[in-house]
Amino acid sequence: MSEQTKYTEDNIRSLDWKEHIRMRPGMYIGKLGDGSSPDDGIYILLKEVLDNSIDEFVMGAGKTIEISVQGSKVIVRDYGRGIPLGKVVDVVSKMNTGGKYDSKAFKKSVGLNGVGTKAVNALSSYFRVESSRDGKSASADFEQGNLVNEEFLEETTRRKGTKVSFIPDEVIFKNYKYRSEYVVKMLKNYVYLNPGLTIVFNGEKYFSENGLKDLLAENINESDLLYPIIHLRGDDIEVALTHSKTQYSEQYHSFVNGQNTTQGGTHLSAFREALVKTIREFYGKNFDASDIRKSVVSAIAIKVMEPVFESQTKTKLGSTDMGGELPTVRTYVNDFLKTYLDNYLHKNPETADKIQRKILQAERERKELSGIRKLAKDRAKKASLHNKKLRDCRVHFGDTKNARYLESTLFITEGDSASGSITKSRDVNTQAVFSLKGKPLNSYGLTKKIVYENEEFNLLQAALNIEESLEDLRYNNVVIATDADVDGMHIRLLLITFFLQFFPEVIKEGHLYILQTPLFRVRNKKETIYCYSDEERVDAIEKLKPKPEITRFKGLGEISPDEFVHFIGENIRLDPVMLDDNMNIEDLLSFYMGKNTPDRQEFIIDNLKVELDVIE
């Protein structure tokens, strides 16, 4: 037997808690990333610490949480009860240790498995926990999960509560950066779900009086509301609901025990089903489910006893029961809507009338498009069979979403050479490629009909599986990968217009990105440096002198597959496409894609000059 195939006692290893977390971080925090995506690991670390402070507020202890993110260092300070002083070290360094196993202390908590802060500790190069209570305090310092210092003070003037400071380990999280936009969105969700809570982030205060109603008001422009937001509250459930005048597909925000379940779960499925049932019964008509839910913008939050999620990152609820003496999640949500939404519609006939007219309009549009949609779906199926446009990834080979869904990525490229390079260098397990043929159509001002009539749009919609709802989006990351020249930037703008016009929630929910690839390669016989800007090129030349070889990449097709693997792998650079909270989509599209105006011409000239200075 060869050395490679021997299997003895020496092959068996026992890892301690921190070694296992550092070796398999994905099991605890999902994907790693670099901070360019809202579900990247560095935000999960913040969330795990913050969840403990939120649970303190829920239990009636501490109305303010202070958060600071300065560079790579994160500080979270609450004014809750404080960790019991004798257990400060244990709760952040011993697995299966925590107060949330006591259901009397934490009845409906997010974190029930005693893992959260341990994962943060193990994955941080620096971690400090401080607790103050009863006029005393205790603190402990760690490095990569190893205890390096512990203090216990008999007397302190500090206010009671817990303070956690940490720096994500650059060995685990490479080239990471916290984006304040993602942090703010997370914090706003927390205050929406916890009226009365104040969160202070880098000196800015966040507070909500109206819960999920404020969330919807923040995410949909007032001029786009078909009717005033319906806001319903029960003992363990809250719902906010409206219809958009212009949005085509459904949009949902779902939460369980304060956790943003971005992938939905049993509660969201129950809500979508109950909404259809309630509307049908109220109007006494068997409306098509898609017509009822078309253009819906809604949020649902429920509280469940000891919830079961489908992963450590808690993005999808798996529980079927509410817990205790309560019925199933499905029955509970259905009974709530049947009573509260039905009552609301009876008391607000004007809103009821607008909803009915919206449904009838959706029905007419669906019937008008039915023939076109059937032909479009047939074309999409044939194209899929021949694999002409889409090179899929293995994560989707099957009927259900794989556990690696968070890593799934679709690159949208232009041209055979660029798509060929990415296809040959991609990770076939999680990365797919969709190849465009030339520049896409400018869809500004066009109706949804064009999505089915235009082959590129139809096949892209089919590849993403977003015709009816974002809930079934097949790729967590949708990446526009075009050349860094004027034509490439025009294609980017046309694709962004497509999403803003027909599927804005893809952008609003943080799924759309721009791939950054190097503009220059500077190398000598010993070292190669890839440069993403003119400044980086100058620095590389200075570092590799004398006279290194300099290559300017004019297009993605000029980058060989052997090199491309470096730019879409572990060190991938993605720029998220973001919308300002106060930005009106119609105004935005009108400015960029509408008729030429002096303001737009001046803007394009000024900004194009900046881009050309880099790419020429």
Write the burial class of residue 37 (CB in 10 Å: 0-12 exposed, 13-18 middle, 19+ buried).
buried
Q: Between 554 and 589, where is the model more confident?
A: 554
pLDDT at 7: 55
Q: How confident is the model at residue 612 (pLDDT cuts 50, 70, 90)?
A: very low
Helices (H), 559-597: 561-564, 585-593
Average pLDDT value for residue range 504-512: 87
Helices (H), 284-400: 289-293, 329-347, 349-386
The sign one gets for the Cα dihedral 443, 445, 447, 448 is: positive
CATH superfamily entry for domain 18-207: Histidine kinase-like ATPase, C-terminal domain (3.30.565.10)
CB–CB of 248/266 below 8 Å? no
Q: Which pLDDT tens digit goes with each residue over 60-95?
A: 888 999 999 999 999 999 999 999 998 889 888 877
Most confident region among 73-77, 92-96, 265-269, 610-614 by mean pLDDT: 73-77
Distance, CA of 443 to CA of 545 (rounded, Å): 49
pLDDT for position 607: 52
Instruction: Please state which CATH number belongs to domain 212-365.
Output: 3.30.230.10
In the chain, what percentage of residues exceed pLDDT 70? 84
Confidence band for 112, pLDDT divided at 50, 70 and 90: very low
| pLDDT (mean) for 537-564 | 87
Is residue 403 within 8 Å of residue 484, measured between CB atoms?
Answer: no
Distance of alpha carbon 497 from alpha carbon 507, whole angstroms: 11
* Per-residue pLDDT at 508: 83
**Are the beta carbons of 442 and 585 closer than 8 angstroms?**
no
**Nearest Cα to Cα of residue 297 among 588, 586, 509, 6:** 509
Q: Identify whether the C-beta of residue 213 lies closer than 8 Å to the C-beta of residue 79.
A: no
The domain locations on the chain are 18-207, 212-365, 387-517+553-615
Residue 250 · residue 469 · CB < 8 Å: yes
Poorest-pLDDT segment among 100-104, 167-171, 459-463, 482-486? 100-104
pLDDT of residue 597: 59
Reported confidence tier of residue 592, pLDDT bands at 50, 70, 90: low
- Tens digits of residue pLDDT in 205-260: 999 999 999 999 988 888 889 999 999 999 889 999 999 988 888 889 999 888 88
What is the predicted pLDDT for the residue at 616?
Answer: 39
**CATH architecture, domain defined by 387-517+553-615:** 3-Layer(aba) Sandwich (3.40)
* Residue 23 pLDDT: 86
Q: What are phi and psi of 165, to 5 degrees?
A: -125, 140
Closest CA to 497 of 592, 596, 579: 592
Closest to 189 in 3D by CA, of 241, 260, 264:
260
Rounded Cα distance between 392 and 71, Å, is 37
DSSP code per residue over 241-264: EEEBSS--SBEEEEEETTEE-TT-
Digit-coded pLDDT (tens) for 367-415: 887 777 777 777 666 655 445 688 888 887 654 455 577 889 999 998 7
Residues in the chain: 616
Q: Is the pLDDT of residue 290 over 60?
A: yes
Contact 56, 80 (CB under 8 A): yes
Q: What share of the chain is helix, strand, coil (3-state, %, to 5)?
A: 40, 20, 35
Model pLDDT for residues 443-502, shown as the tens digit of each residue: 888 888 888 888 888 889 888 988 777 778 889 999 999 887 778 888 888 899 899 888
pLDDT tens column, 1-41 = 455 566 565 655 566 778 888 888 888 888 888 898 888 99
Residue with tokens 């980086």: 536
pLDDT at 292 over 70: yes
Query: How open is the CA angle 513-516-521, to the nearest 5 degrees?
Result: 170
Higher pLDDT, residue 593 or 184: 184
User: SS3 for 474-508, per residue?
Assistant: CCCEEEEECCCCHHHHHHHHHHHHHHHHHCHHHHH
- pLDDT recorded at residue 500: 86
pTM for this structure? 0.80
Mean pLDDT score across all residues of the chain:
84
Read off the pLDDT of each residue in 268-288 and give the average, rounded to a whole number. Answer: 95
For residue 202, how far is the Cα from the chain centroid?
22
142 versus 316: which is more confidently predicted? 142
What pLDDT sits at residue 263? Answer: 80
